[in-house]
Amino acid sequence: MPIQNRIAEFQKDMQKWRHHFHEFPELAYKEVNTAKKVVELLKKFNVDKIETGIGGTGVVATLRNGAGRSVGLRADMDALPIKEENEKNYCSKNKGVMHACGHDGHTSMLLGAIKYLSETRKFKGEVVCIFQPAEEGFAGAKAMIEDGLFKKYPIDEIYGMHNMPNLKEGILAVQEGPRLAAADNFEIEIVGKGAHGAMPSNSIDPIVCGSALVQNLQHIVSRNSNPKETLVITIASFHSGNANNVIPKNATLNGTIRYYDDDIGKMVKKRFHEVVNNTCKAYGAKPIIKFNKGYPATVNHKKQSEFAYNIAKKVNGKNSTNIQSPMMGSEDFSYFLREVPGAFAWIGNGQSASLHNPKYDFNDNILSIGASFLATLAEDYLK
């Protein structure tokens, strides 16, 4: 059977929960009412323990059945600062905030898995269910770890899942190795000397310097990095001046750096500073650099990926795959995978707007599949 029959029976319940979360989205570390709703439902499911406030607004629920190993299941709860453009009866009522990444669905699938596991208890050991805040750029996973998550709840393995628009509806995809990239971000302010546009010799032109810098940073990719390795350096914004006859004093460049391998990350950070400083020096300008270390790469462990893929086949038959190209987006589940072996899976959202799009919506048809996948992961791991 493709999904657990019992879970399929409360598909409408999961849909109702999902629509509620979608209607009342909350931003990172502000998921107060979302957490309250999660706790309200967990109490109805008769879980063994509920703890709130881990990592700010995080919630952890545990289910126990005798002595044995412990497995973690994670869902993220936060929304994005995006104005929704859908026309649904459950559209966001919080102005300028919407669930444009499907965390409303992730939370509802984990709740569905918990409801089933609490009823059946067909496992031996402990299931630790992690409802994480602040995945969208604010490192909620890291905050929960620093708040003692794994000291309070030592687990042997951990699993998470994310929906993927335009991947076949309901397909489960799990593969070992890098799945999502590390993401570092930067801002470079180039301080030059302003002058009249007709007198460039009186200036230290930050626009000319910045233009050279855009080109020179790309040489890190083409000449310092092994072509077999993945590295992306993107200048996403370039701001300077506001008149057609004035050479400004300053220019500001913002961008992101993406990679999978930690050694590549160390190399690119070193070369980044060298290229910026030396290019600006060549033009007589001064750089002010803000380099922000972001999420590490999300790298699935081999054994756990094979296990999760076998569960995907068990739950979803041929509608599962262990061949899925890694992506250059980032995900803070990476922090969990650096602490505990595990795997991160994709579930196909079918044809839909892309993630972080004002017209995106999670596909309710995949709720039972995702909840069955999570529940079966726990049951089979804790046999």
Mean pLDDT of the chain: 97
- The whole-number average pLDDT for the span 52-69 is 97
State the architecture of 5-179+298-381 in CATH terms. 3-Layer(aba) Sandwich (3.40)
The yes-or-no answer on residue 48 being catalytic is no
The predicted structure's pLDDT at residue 4 = 76
Binned at pLDDT 50, 70 and 90, residue 1 comes out as: very low
pLDDT at 377 over 70: yes
Record the tokens describing residue 109, joined without a space. 């699938």
CATH number for region 182-292: 3.30.70.360
- The whole-number average pLDDT for the span 67-78 is 98
What sign does the dihedral 84-186-262-294 (CA atoms) show? negative
pLDDT at 2 over 80: no
Residue 177 Cα distances to 98, 99, 137, 299, angstroms? 31, 28, 22, 5
pLDDT tens sequence across 97-112: 999 999 999 999 999 9
pLDDT tens sequence across 32-49: 999 999 999 999 999 999
- The whole-number average pLDDT for the span 115-128 is 97
The predicted structure's pLDDT at residue 3 = 67
Within the chain, all domains assigned CATH 3.30.70.360 are found at: 182-292
What sign does the dihedral 303-308-310-311 (CA atoms) show? positive
To the nearest whole percent, how much of the chain has pLDDT over 90? 98
Of these residues, 26, 78, 136, 331, which one is catalytic?
78
The yes-or-no answer on residue 135 being catalytic is yes
The predicted structure's pLDDT at residue 287 = 98
- The whole-number average pLDDT for the span 142-152 is 98
Record the tokens describing residue 347, joined without a space. 């579930």
Rounded distance between C-alpha atoms, residue 174 and residue 209, angstroms? 45
Within the chain, all domains assigned CATH 3.40.630.10 are found at: 5-179+298-381
The predicted structure's pLDDT at residue 115 = 97
User: At 38, which helix (H) or strand (E)?
Assistant: helix 32-44
Of these residues, 31, 135, 332, 379, which one is catalytic?
135
* Neighbour-count burial for 133-162, b at 16+ CB within 10 Å, e otherwise: bbbbebbbbbbbbeeebeeebebbbbbbbb
pLDDT tens sequence across 332-370: 999 999 999 999 999 999 999 999 999 999 999 999 999
- The whole-number average pLDDT for the span 318-323 is 93
pLDDT at 156 over 50: yes
